[in-house]
Amino acid sequence: MRPLPILVLTLLAACGGTLQGTEDDSDGETVGVDAGTPSVEYPDAGIDPTRKLCDGSAHLRLAYSGSGDELGPTPPSGIYREVGAYYLYVDGQCRYWVTDPAGDFLADGRTGVLDAAQEAELTRLVHYQSWASLGGGYTCAGTPAPGAGGATFFDGTNRPSCPYWCEPQELPHEVVEMCSAVTSLRTLLHERGVANEGPVRLYMTADAYPAPVADFVWPLATDPESLILAVDGTPSSFRIDDVTEARQLRELKATLIIKSETLPYVPIHRDDAPPLQLWVRDILPFEDDPAGPFGLGAP
């Protein structure tokens, strides 16, 4: 296995953006930029030069997401896992959707379009043309914590992963490079994107233990009590399609980020009734793609 170079990322250079690869484990997906002395030998992954990220289709071509291991898999916190507690998605028309590594499931999601140079650079940095050889089977001494999944790339067939419980020298150098690059890539793409303005999905639940932050006033005309719906004891989600109402709910979440760095929901204050918890996320346009989950086929 060849030594791992220090990554100097130049994605979006045409727009004035340059980026230095960093050793950042904020998402649990980064495994470092210095692979050190390899303890496991892997052959260099093959390259398929015909494999194109933006192939003109409307389906997703690249999916990167993590479960957010601090979040439970069931509602209400599981709402963030439905499309990934943090993510980067790119479809065949070079449209992308991304969360900010600085805030992940609480931060605003953004969207944009890659140009040809940016597509080529992203393809190179995540070794997109080598994914058929990077599907897993890594030999690592460590083991994941119970319920922890780390982060995964997916294209509908191949599923390279970023196993945080592995040491860099236990992984193929391509995996170390792509997992080290993706956080910085998400940061830059988030900066270059525009805010999502589509519908949102929410869970509303009673707040049995009000949080020690300033409570928020419910901004919509809809009675929040009517949004507390349980089926067999499990909260059910609601879709908000109205653009103005969706924006108001996003603004609540943005204000929460300023007031609290740890609270994963918006505490809703009511003068004459118990407080509520609002859990809200963007609905991504490919969620209902008939080609399969997120337009990628069965996981």
Task: Say if residue 253 is in the same domain as residue 273.
Answer: yes
Domain-terminating residue out of 161, 195, 229: 195
Collapsing DSSP to helix, strand or coil, 233 comes out as coil
Mean per-residue pLDDT over the chain, rounded: 78
Domain-terminating residue out of 136, 164, 195: 195
Residue 18, in any domain of the structure: yes
Task: Say if residue 268 is in the same domain as residue 170.
Answer: no
Q: How confident is the model at residue 19 (pLDDT cuts 50, 70, 90)?
A: very low
Residue 65, in any domain of the structure: yes
Which pLDDT value is given to residue 218? Answer: 92
Residue 26, in any domain of the structure: yes
> Do residues 242 and 221 make contact, with C-beta atoms less than 8 angstroms apart?
no
pLDDT in tens, 160-209: 988 888 888 898 889 999 999 998 999 999 999 999 989 999 988 888 87
Q: Averaged over 265-293, what is the pLDDT?
A: 81
> Do residues 86 and 105 make contact, with C-beta atoms less than 8 angstroms apart?
yes
Task: Say if residue 138 is in the same domain as residue 215.
Answer: no
Which pLDDT value is given to residue 73? Answer: 62
> Do residues 60 and 89 make contact, with C-beta atoms less than 8 angstroms apart?
yes
DSSP annotation of 4: P
Which pLDDT value is given to residue 11? Answer: 41
Which pLDDT value is given to residue 58? Answer: 84
Residue 31, in any domain of the structure: yes
State the burial class of residue 139 (Cβ atoms within 10 Å of its Cβ: 0-12, 13-18, 19+): exposed
Q: Long-range contacts made by residues 36-40, C-beta under 8 angstroms, separation at least 24?
A: 36/167, 36/168, 36/169, 37/169, 38/1, 38/169, 39/167, 39/169, 39/170, 40/138, 40/139, 40/169, 40/170, 40/171
Task: Say if residue 112 is in the same domain as residue 254.
Answer: no
Residue 110, in any domain of the structure: yes
Task: Say if residue 268 is in the same domain as residue 129.
Answer: no
Task: Say if residue 87 is in the same domain as residue 191.
Answer: yes
Residue 74, in any domain of the structure: yes
Task: Say if residue 16 is in the same domain as residue 74.
Answer: yes
| Tokens of residue 94, six digits | 């070079």
Task: Say if residue 65 is in the same domain as residue 168.
Answer: yes
Sign of CA dihedral 252, 257, 259, 265: positive
Which range of residues forms the domain containing residue 53? 8-195
Which pLDDT value is given to residue 275? Answer: 87
Specify the residue for token string 């409570």. 215
Which pLDDT value is given to residue 84? Answer: 82
Task: Say if residue 171 is in the same domain as residue 251.
Answer: no
Domain-terminating residue out of 195, 222, 255: 195
Task: Say if residue 191 is in the same domain as residue 247.
Answer: no
- Overall number of domains in the chain: 2
pLDDT in tens, 82-94: 888 889 999 999 9
Q: Averaged over 277-281, what is the pLDDT?
A: 90
pTM of the model: 0.81
Q: How confident is the model at residue 290 (pLDDT cuts 50, 70, 90)?
A: low
Q: Averaged over 38-57, what is the pLDDT?
A: 80
